[in-house]
Homo-oligomer: A and B are copies of this chain.
Amino acid sequence: MTIQAGQQSAASPVASQQMRAALAALRDQPIPATSKGFGRLAAAGRAPGAANPSGANPGVGGPGAGGPGAGSPGAADGTAADSIVTSASLAGRRPYLLGPDFVLPVLVLREAAMRQNIAAMAGYCAAAGVGLAPHGKTTMAPQIFARQLAAGAWGMTAATIAQVQVYRAFGVPRVLIANELADRGAIEWLAAELAADELAADPGFECYAYVDSLAGVRLLDDSLRAAGARRPLPVLVELGQPSGRAGCRSIDEALAVAKATAAAATLRLAGAAGFEGNIHGDSAAATAAAVAAFCRDLRTLGDLLPADPAGTPHLLSAGGSAYFDIVARELTAARPGRSRPEVLLRSGAYVTHDHGLYAAIGPGAGQPGRTGPALVPALELWAPVLSRPEPGLAVASAGRRDTGVDQGLPVPLRIRHTGGRETPAGRLRVTKLDDQHAHLSVPEESPLAPGDLICLGISHPCTTFDKWRVIPVADEEYRVIDAIHTFF
């Protein structure tokens, strides 16, 4: 098996019949009027005064989304099928994001930027000779997964079994669970899913997980035995750092876990993995040096693992969204007498990049000696100014419910004044977010007034995507041409 980006797409069932069918169905599903931002557009097909079509259609339309206001096809309330809003229908309608069709605040995904990021990362990995298993936790959006897989990704990374369940519902063929498993019920589910796959008309589900302790190997082996697992689960031994997250704290400890793994009948030792994203030094240079040192240890662990009895090459995986360039460099560096390992990056945030955390610490401008793919921020949050209660203060309608704040506050990019004129955000700053409000520091001479719109860049896409169930996708003229469904 080779997992270089340019080659893996041929080897992976990246667009299985099952996945194509599930995505086609998703694209044709009505966007519920209860989806934040879509409440006006999606409700337009409702008969006047019929505020609650679901009352007339119990059981039709899914909960949490296809429920009240969804405007289900075939509803008996006079809804015309051509007024139903779906991802697919938006491509034809092309409603304007900043016009009356959308209710603000609204998060928007810029199609051109996302397309560039997916292509740039695929090209970067191909050139570096590494594979990519994008971390799907960032977006939890199967429509985006499909584009990442079509661009050559090896498979998708997940953090939890609940995420794997979403991936499987959409037919993602190959999953790396970058985590230990310890929930016996969840392990039983996985064993059953793998067993069912073997009996399916369109088999091909592969799943990998981590182990980092003898106790964990026993728990996993026992649980898989109890579940009657039919084929060994491939697992990677995780290497960690002192005071870090999970993972063995030394190469020797990891080798002992690897040995126990190789001896467990329900497991197959498939390689080694680690996560460098939690490493912090006193400076950017110190962090980069510590990340490199960790990667060299991981490489050494990989070199020392017992070989697979069947000759299957081991995987070596690391690489979040901040330091994947260092990971790729260190894990693929030539070592005398050693073959080049099969390296798998797991970056997730690259797909939208951001205006905060990853813009600051990812490879590229401002990071001397670090080169990476040309990523551009793809997410914007648009919010109206509600109040200008003091000369130096504005309050806008966007809060913790709309964007992540754990890695920094959103960044004002532009102001769209009443009438449509846009100006740069200048010295406008977000100083605080409440649940539903942004507090902004405003130059006193600014004409910013209620009704003006603020375009905000975000920091940390992972905790921004999870605030939105349906995200409009816009072209460069802010015409909405698609919508992405998330499954958090």
Contacts and interface: CB of A to CB of B under 8 A. Distances in A.
Interface of A: 18, 21-22, 24-26, 28-37, 39-40, 43, 48-49, 51-52, 54-70, 72-73, 86, 99-105, 137, 159-162, 165-166, 168-171, 179-186, 188-189, 193, 196-197, 199-201, 212-213, 215-216, 219, 240, 242-249, 278, 384-390, 393, 395, 397, 400-401, 405-406, 434-437, 439, 449-451, 462-463, 466-467, 469-470, 485-488
Q: How many chain copies?
A: 2
A104 B181 CA distance: 10
Contact of A216 (B387, B467, B487): B387
A61 B64 contact: no
A149 B387 CA distance: 31
A52 B21 contact: yes
B248 A69 contact: no
A468 to B, nearest CB: 9
A242 B390 contact: yes
Contacts of A43: 165, 189
A364 to B, nearest CB: 22
A448 to B, nearest CB: 11
A61 B60 CA distance: 6
Contacts of A101: 185
Contact of A159 (B181, B435, B463): B435
B462 A435 contact: yes
A35 B185 CA distance: 16
Contact of A183 (B171, B397, B434, B435): B397
Contacts of A196: 48-49, 51
B67 A200 contact: no
A179 B246 contact: no
Contacts of A59: 25, 28-29, 73
Given A34-B169, A435-B462, 17 more contacts: A18-B51, A22-B67, A29-B58, A36-B162, A36-B488, A39-B189, A63-B470, A64-B487, A67-B485, A69-B169, A159-B437, A181-B386, A182-B450, A213-B389, A216-B386, A401-B463, A401-B466
Contacts of A72: 62
B182 A397 contact: yes
24 contacts: A25-B68, A26-B67, A34-B166, A34-B487, A37-B162, A39-B162, A43-B165, A49-B197, A52-B170, A54-B169, A62-B63, A67-B487, A99-B185, A103-B183, A103-B186, A137-B401, A137-B435, A180-B387, A216-B386, A243-B390, A246-B437, A247-B389, A248-B389, A401-B463
Contacts of A24: 55, 58
A19 to B, nearest CB: 8
A449 B215 contact: yes
Contacts of A67: 22, 25-26, 29, 62, 65, 169, 485, 487
Contact of A439 (B60, B105, B171, B245): B245
A385 B180 CA distance: 9
B25 A58 contact: yes
Contacts of A165: 33-34, 39-40, 43, 69, 103
